[in-house]
Amino acid sequence: MAREKVARFRDWTYWGRPVPGFGDAAARVLVVGLAPAAHGGNRTGRVFTGDESGNWLYRALHAAGFANQPTSVARDDGLRLSDAYVTAAARCAPPGNRPTPDELGRCQPFLVEELDRLARLRVVVVLGKIAHDAFLAALSARGDVVPRPRPRFAHGLAHRLPNGLLLVCSYHPSQQNTFTGRLTRPMLDAVFSQAAAALDDRASTPPRRRRT
């Protein structure tokens, strides 16, 4: 995709390689998406940047107080996140926008490392079922206890995990979901309002257990 491009981005030099996570290294909220979009993050080099899904996500983060602006168009656009970090289950744009189990497995160590580095983490927002499953698999890979049966995915559902993290589920802000009305702006805003409220409710937020 980075070589072929599309007409509207013909003059761009695409990033065309794995896209790293982005945000506040001291974040208490982690957002896990699916994968870079072929002409979004794969083009710009920043996760959820340069496509409509990113516009939805960063608008919601801005409304909840986690971003300094509601748009994300390029790596040098001035966007900064506060108390939030955004990443993806897969780091490269997958064929058909659906990563294979092998691709997810190869990218898992990066998500595990991010979980290790985010020492103040309290809330994880997963965008879609694939991100939900990838996050739980990464928890298991790093030695955390994952409940059985595993926490169920449904939009707006929240689970308190054994390690103290609050897992909040959301539909992915893909055009397939937003154009059809499966996900609306108020629905996405409510997810990040829930995440922000959980940070304020310190009495109900146990300290996170670190991997040893």
pLDDT tens digits for range 4-25: 666 666 676 777 789 999 999 9
Say how far residue 165 (Cα) sits from the centre of its chain: 15
Confidence of residue 2 (pLDDT cuts 50, 70, 90): low
Q: Is 67 exposed, middle or buried (0-12, 13-18, 19+ CB in 10 A)?
A: buried
**Distance of CA 200 to CAs 193, 195, 196, Å?**
11, 9, 7
- Half-sphere CA count of 109, side-chain side, radius 13 A: 2
Q: Is 95 exposed, middle or buried (0-12, 13-18, 19+ CB in 10 A)?
A: exposed
Rounded Cα distance, 138 and 108, in Å: 6
Per-residue confidence (pLDDT) for residue 121, from 0 to 100: 97
Rounded Cα distance, 178 and 134, in Å: 22
The pair of structure tokens assigned to 5 is 């491009």
Contact 87, 33 (CB under 8 A): yes
Q: What is the pTM of this model?
A: 0.90
Per-residue confidence (pLDDT) for residue 212, from 0 to 100: 46
Mean of pLDDT values over 77-85: 97
Count CB-CB contacts under 10 A for residue 170: 28
Per-residue confidence (pLDDT) for residue 176, from 0 to 100: 93
Mean of all residue pLDDT scores within the chain: 90
> How is the beta sheet containing 29-33 ordered, strand by strand?
22-23, 84-88, 29-33, 123-127, 166-170, 158-160
The pair of structure tokens assigned to 76 is 């040098």
pLDDT tens-digit map of 148-206: 999 999 999 999 999 999 999 999 999 999 999 999 999 999 999 999 999 986 444 44
